[in-house]
A and B are shown apart, each in its own frame.
Chain A
Amino acid sequence: MGIALKFENVSKRFILHPQQPRSLQEMVIQTLKGNRSSKQELWALKDLTLEVQEGETLGIVGPNGAGKSTLLKLIARILDVTSGRIIVNGKVSALLELGTGFHPDLTGRENIFLNGSLLGLSRRDMLNKFDEIVEFAELEQFIDVPVKHYSSGMLIRLGFSIATNVEPDILLIDEVLAVGDQHFQAKCLARMEEIKERETTIIFVSHSLEMVRGLCNKAIWLDGGVLRATGEPERVADLYLQGVAGDERPLEEKRRWGTREVEIVNVRFLNSKGDKLSVFETGERMIARIEYEAHTKVERPVFGVAIYRNDGLQVNGPNTKASDFPIPWVEGKGQVDYVIDSLPLLVGTYRFSASVYDHHLFHAYDHHHLLYSFVVKRGEAAETHELFYIPSRWEHRQA
């Protein structure tokens, strides 16, 4: 097997001009004012070296702004490298945004040919693939209707169908599989497996670690344009999760407030064995330990916590008062444990707040808003997606 793709010390720099003159007028004004537009540099990729074998499926994980999309655009030749060299063997097709280049006034049929030629296919190739594209997109009835009358789901189906039917040697996919209805998603996944079997090299960017684990046979973790890890998808995904969770940010004053008669010194997450961790499995015991220090004697304080999903959805927000767990007074150092016997949360990254208030929940002594985070990875539970594992069972009776 040969090499499909090779990056040799590739760097990509973007020059950000906060106010680049886009017209002569602006240029003259800026020159007169004497403010040379301050150029800012952004290195989207730094000295990246990488090799992908033919037929491999490479998953790329990393936070927003890690350079994942830049990497794909460099392979697709949409962007040009600043330094280094990229060697691509074979025809590349990119699923960067489905339905790019559809013209609303043209029919589905006309758009298929236009889009196919945009991806570099000849008219004869497109004639051969036409029926399959239409069939896969399930648009037989609407193929001669202008696409402006299509629903967004129909457009996505058509876009995906065209892009995966062009039979590239290297297929680039950027987060597009998370669209469409359940039925079509399943079809997309099946199509991906098919493409894999054809020995097509796939480069796959996703926030879904599950998909990276399931589809890829190699993964890389990009962060700030630098390769943080590379290898088996399982291992890279785990490293990535730990990396994200272990990201200890400085206490930002904006996210911390209170008069500090009682101060929260630290918050740790522990498992049943008492190990300090940041990654838990669904169904595991998890203890959030709040270590405090009371500088004077404070009566009837109320400790509270809150769990948020990474997108900001608040999952819960219990406190010692509402849970009827009164603490008569605190003085000096101590700790409060919030114990979850069986963690019901499913795979994902969660953020955590801890606070201590007066008895009336009116006055904040110390509030740490979203300063902590932990990650839940796949455990024994059969369910993985969405938010909660709800203990339940199925029953069935034939009438």
Chain B
Amino acid sequence: MFAKIRELIEYRDLVRNLVGRDLKVRYKNSFLGFFWSLLNPLAMMVVFTVVFTIMLPNSALERFPVFVLCALLPWNFFSSSVMTSIHSIVGNAHLIKKVYFPREVLPLSTVLANLVNFLLALIVLFAMMFALRTPLTRWALLLPVIIFIQLIFTLGLAFFLSTVNVFYRDTAMIMDVAMLAWFFLTPVFYPITILPQYYPTLFGFSLDVQRLAYILNPMASLIASYRVILYHGVPPALDFLFRTLVTALAFLVGGYLVFLRYSRVFAEEL
């Protein structure tokens, strides 16, 4: 595995070029080109502002657009990374059958291209926060750490799912639905506190739903962390963040090992 990682470092220029290719191609034939990376989140924010301040004013939460966006942008980064990287192996079959290069470059560069878009969208978020007078506290400096943890988690999933999709093309279809369910299970549009704290079961136990939501869903932890440091401007629970990091690392190592195990036969299976 370490030899593989060293090789990956040798191919870093390939990763860079593939990320560049993804970004260039995405906006190649559009009039506004690269500005869409900024315009897209901006337009989204306008929609949310209109919907949640005029059509459905949510009096319980102040600055609701900021509340939503500081969760929605990370979520979009996650979901578009997962959904595009699923196809990263199958979609590059012509390359895999003709050239040798470390295959992990493909999901990696797909996720990184999405990361670049996410970072651009964050600029818009900060502009929005400034406009709505949301003060940035020093806890916002933890943002890179949280993004890094999310990146690790996303990569693990990308490695795993892109491999499975080579053997079973249903994976992409299943994930379409799964991501929708996952979206609603993750507190993006609502604060986690609206979930019932305890839910009585048949056998007299009661489940701590809020706790469970975090334990079972690393994305919920990540989204909550973004919100805590940006929207609330207070320190996140560090032990909580650390646990999420450990989970993310486990996903990355597991996903990467699966990927390495099966990437040797990609050329035959495609």
Tell me if chain B binds chain A. Answer: yes
Task: Give the docked Cα–Cα distance between A264 and B8 (Å).
Answer: 66
Q: Are A120 and B10 in contact (CB under 8 A)?
A: yes
Residues facing A in B47-103 (CB within 8 A) are: 94-101
Chain A residues, CB < 8 A from B16: 117, 123
Q: B213 → chain A, closest Cβ, in Å?
A: 29
Q: Are A80 and B265 in contact (CB under 8 A)?
A: yes
Q: Are A77 and B28 in contact (CB under 8 A)?
A: no
Which of A79, A105, A113 is the one whose CB lies under 8 Å from B28? Answer: A105
Residue of B nearest to A14 (CB): B268
Chain B residues, CB < 8 A from A105: 24-25, 28-29
Chain B residues, CB < 8 A from A78: 96-100, 267
Which of A25, A73, A103 is the one whose CB lies under 8 Å from B21? Answer: A103
Q: Are A123 and B268 in contact (CB under 8 A)?
A: no
**A contact face: mostly helix, strand, loop, or mixed:** loop
B168 at the interface (CB under 8 A from A): yes
- Report how many A-B pairs have Cβ atoms within 8 Å: 75
Which of A14, A94, A106, A118 is the one whose CB lies under 8 Å from B95? Answer: A118
B13 at the interface (CB under 8 A from A): yes
Task: Give the docked Cα–Cα distance between A110 and B29 (Å).
Answer: 16
Q: A19 → chain B, closest Cβ, in Å?
A: 14
Chain B residues, CB < 8 A from A113: 17
Q: Are B101 and A118 in contact (CB under 8 A)?
A: yes
Q: A22-B169, A73-B267, A117-B11 in contact; A110/B24 too (CB < 8 A)?
A: yes
Q: B176 → chain A, closest Cβ, in Å?
A: 14
Q: Are B21 and A118 in contact (CB under 8 A)?
A: no
Q: A268 → chain B, closest Cβ, in Å?
A: 45
Q: Are B265 and A23 in contact (CB under 8 A)?
A: no
A97 at the interface (CB under 8 A from B): yes
Q: Are A100 and B95 in contact (CB under 8 A)?
A: yes
Task: Give the docked Cα–Cα distance between A389 and B264 (Å).
Answer: 50
Residue of B nearest to A100 (CB): B98
Residues facing A in B1-56 (CB within 8 A) are: 10-11, 13-14, 16-18, 20-21, 24-25, 28-29
Chain A residues, CB < 8 A from B169: 22-23
Q: Are A79 and B268 in contact (CB under 8 A)?
A: yes
Q: B73 → chain A, closest Cβ, in Å?
A: 27
A326 at the interface (CB under 8 A from B): no
Chain A residues, CB < 8 A from B97: 78
Q: A173 → chain B, closest Cβ, in Å?
A: 13
Q: Are A106 and B11 in contact (CB under 8 A)?
A: no
Q: Are B170 and A23 in contact (CB under 8 A)?
A: yes
Q: A11 → chain B, closest Cβ, in Å?
A: 14
Q: Are A106 and B100 in contact (CB under 8 A)?
A: no
Q: Are A120 and B101 in contact (CB under 8 A)?
A: yes
Q: B248 → chain A, closest Cβ, in Å?
A: 28
Q: Are B100 and A77 in contact (CB under 8 A)?
A: yes
Give the contact-size bracket for chain A. Answer: 20 to 34
Chain A residues, CB < 8 A from B99: 76, 78, 94, 96, 100-101, 118-119
**Chain A positions 56 through 86: 1 when the CB is less than 8 Å from some CB of chain B, otherwise 0:** 0000000000000000010011111000000
Task: Give the docked Cα–Cα distance between A284 and B17 (Å).
Answer: 59
A178 at the interface (CB under 8 A from B): no
Task: Give the docked Cα–Cα distance between A94 and B97 (Å).
Answer: 12
Q: A47 → chain B, closest Cβ, in Å?
A: 20
Q: Are B100 and A92 in contact (CB under 8 A)?
A: yes
A24 at the interface (CB under 8 A from B): yes
Chain A residues, CB < 8 A from B13: 117, 121-123, 126
Q: Are A80 and B264 in contact (CB under 8 A)?
A: yes
A114 at the interface (CB under 8 A from B): yes
Chain A residues, CB < 8 A from B95: 100-101, 118
Residue of A nearest to B22 (CB): A103
Which of A22, A100, A106 is the one whose CB lies under 8 Å from B94? Answer: A100
Chain B residues, CB < 8 A from A114: 17-18, 20-21
Q: B88 → chain A, closest Cβ, in Å?
A: 14
Q: B152 → chain A, closest Cβ, in Å?
A: 24
**Chain A positions 182 through 211: 1 when the CB is less than 8 Å from some CB of chain B, otherwise 0:** 000000000000000000000000000000
Q: B10 → chain A, closest Cβ, in Å?
A: 7
**Chain A positions 21 through 34: 1 when the CB is less than 8 Å from some CB of chain B, otherwise 0:** 01111000000000
Chain A residues, CB < 8 A from B29: 105
Task: Give the docked Cα–Cα distance between A387 and B267 (Å).
Answer: 39
What are some 23 contacts across the A-B interface (CB < 8 A)?
A77-B100, A78-B97, A79-B268, A80-B264, A96-B98, A97-B98, A100-B94, A100-B98, A100-B99, A101-B94, A101-B98, A101-B99, A103-B21, A105-B25, A105-B28, A105-B29, A106-B25, A114-B17, A114-B18, A117-B16, A119-B101, A120-B11, A126-B13
A76-B100, A78-B267, A106-B21 provided; 18 other pairs, C-beta below 8 A?
A23-B168, A25-B170, A76-B99, A77-B100, A78-B97, A80-B264, A100-B94, A100-B98, A101-B99, A114-B18, A114-B20, A117-B14, A118-B95, A118-B99, A118-B101, A119-B99, A122-B13, A123-B16
The 4 tightest CB contacts between A and B, nearest first, are: A117-B14, A100-B98, A80-B264, A77-B100
